[in-house]
Amino acid sequence: MKDLSPKAIIHLVPAATRWIIGMALLTVLGTGCANPEEEALQSEANLSTASDSTSQWKLELARVGDRSITAGQLRAFYGKIPNYLQSNSEGLEKERNHLQTLIDMELLQLEAEEQGIDRLPAFIYKIAQYRKEKLVGLYQIKKIKVRVSGQEVSDYFREWELARKVRFAQIITTSEDSAWSALREISSGRDFGEVAEQWSIHEPTMEQGGDTGRYVGKLDMPPYLRKSLFALEEGEVSQPIDIGGHFALFKALESIETELDAEQFQNIYRQLFIERTVGARAALTDSLKEALKLERDQRGLDAFSAAMHRGATFEDEEVRAIVLYRYEGGTITAGDVLDAASQLKYKTLDLRNKEAVIEYAEGTLVPDALFVEAALREGLDRDKEVTQWLAKKRDQELVVQLRVQVLKERVSISAEDIHREYEENPDRYMKPDQIEIQEILVATEAEAKDLLERLRRGASMGNLARQYSKRPPELRDEEGRRRFTVAAAAVYGRLVAAARKAPVGELTGPLQVREGYSIFKVLSREQQRASFEEAKKRVRATVNWIKKQQVFEQFLAELRTKYAAQVEIQEDNLKRVLTSG
């Protein structure tokens, strides 16, 4: 069977043509050019090596309605998809499968046009967003010129004292109270490393006395940690710091002075570039506010805020039409704010808070609107790159919105579907590893060693647990048996970590934990199937995914039948591409 990898394809053709194909492949894979077929044809024309005006790159392999699919498009398709998505077939059958995918894309666009997908509000909104993003980007590139010199990077490194790097030890706890308790022990004279082993829930560092093992500079840390941590002298310990759901203590172990290295140079360069770009964008916005006579409509903002307090919906057309800002060439309405707010992924906008709305609008919507208007006045929308890019986005969005509509209409999930999936695929819905141990917890290491010796001489672990274990009764049975999952490491730290590694049935300990000293043996480690109620959301998501795949495959099959008369495949040209490629 012939090897059809890109590397092998290049070796099957003469040197001149091989160079042409190589350039086309580089164009597709490296630069993302919108039309690699044209690049290949131009290269061929420049070389004047083709005796026939029709090269393999513009050979028509199929026609769908009035649209042609060429060999160049098929080759570009190869370059855009990863190997694991390519057909598993070989030779001509592989070419046919990939060609069918391109045909299917054309069929989907035909169907989308027939169904009027381009008239749907969701489609119109997305195309408007693509257009805005493209024009804003091009206008900023044209107008904002930011430069950062190597000398400026070096000066910044020196002025902000970034040469100092510090190695820290840390204790991560589940609560602020735990962090303060750990700090009190350290303040009373107990070694930081011992406290870390007892209190920290961060497994990679707790067994090293909290030592992180690496030196970090200011730019390696989140901004909210820099000031407090780099103010620590060697040997000093911070107060508890909220690190997002957990609390931490840090100790400065050692500091060193470093030279400006390549990584630091890039970090500083990036930071300065971003700061200057943000400043230049703000200055450009201010100049356009004046040039385009931007005005804030206070009455409109008051009306919008009042409507939001009344509980107006995002679909209320009267509210959406409220004008918030005016400028030469357009307006910014409440609808623009509502649409933008609905797209926010990582934060929410309190639409009842007038000041928050103004801050968001003037920080994001106003600059974008002014940039678009300025770009239109300079004719950037007529640029060939923009029109080609938008045409491509339009074709892609037609397919996306058609798929959304088809799945919405055809996919339904019943209770029976969910139960059937759960019953027929038990291995898909397992709980995390469950560990059962039998444990004796005591206050001191001496007690633990004494009990361990008695156990080795044959004493009953259940009896000793009943007599001596300090583990609260609600967390174990009378003989010290308890179960937990690996997720319990956030609470029990070292005990869970040790239980995950210990051989089943072997005595382990004494192990110092935050509550004292533990002796235990692992009775079992196993996975259990989640109950239907526990797994229900996961099962529903799986059924939904499977049904979507099935429904869309069926829809494609219907389109192939519906448009069969408009599809013509040039089998001879396909074979020619295979043998020459």
Query: DSSP letter string over 501-517?
Result: HSPBT-EEEEEEETTEE
**Tokens (6 digits) for 553:** 């495959």
The whole-angstrom separation of Cα 447 and Cα 554 is: 70
SS3 of the chain: helix, strand, coil, percent, to 5: 60, 15, 25
According to the model, what pLDDT value does residue 10 have?
A: 27
- Spell out the domain ranges in the chain: 6-116+570-580, 164-258, 292-378, 434-526
Fold of 164-258: Chitinase A; domain 3 (3.10.50)
As a whole number of angstroms, the distance between CA 199 and CA 315 comes to 52
Q: Which CATH number fits domain 434-526: 3.10.50.40, 1.10.3720.10, 3.40.50.300, 3.40.50.1000?
A: 3.10.50.40
Write the CB contacts of 196 (distance below 8 Å, at least 6 apart in sequence): 169, 170, 171, 205, 206, 209, 210
Q: How many other C-beta atoms are found inside a 10 Å radius of the C-beta of residue 516?
A: 19
Strand intervals (E) in 81-239: 164-173, 211-216
Nearest Cα neighbor of 156 from 93, 218, 77 is 218
DSSP 8-state class, residue 237: B
Can you list the residues of the chain whose pLDDT is less than 70? 1-55, 84, 346-347, 487, 489-491, 580-581
Interval 352-386: pLDDT, tens: 999 999 999 999 999 999 999 999 999 999 999 99
* pLDDT for the residue 197: 86
Cα Rg of the chain, angstroms: 33
The strand pairing partners of 173, in sequence order, are 247
Residue found by looking up tokens 């069926």 in the block: 554
Burial class of residue 510 in the structure, from the number of CB atoms within 10 Å of its CB (0-12 exposed, 13-18 middle, 19+ buried): buried
What pTM did the predictor assign?
Answer: 0.67
Q: Give the pLDDT score at 489.
A: 66
35 vs 27: CA distance, rounded Å: 9
Helix (H, G, I), strand (E, B) or coil at 143: helix
The pLDDT of residue 346 is: 65
Domains 164-258 and 434-526 share a fold: yes
pLDDT of residue 79: 77
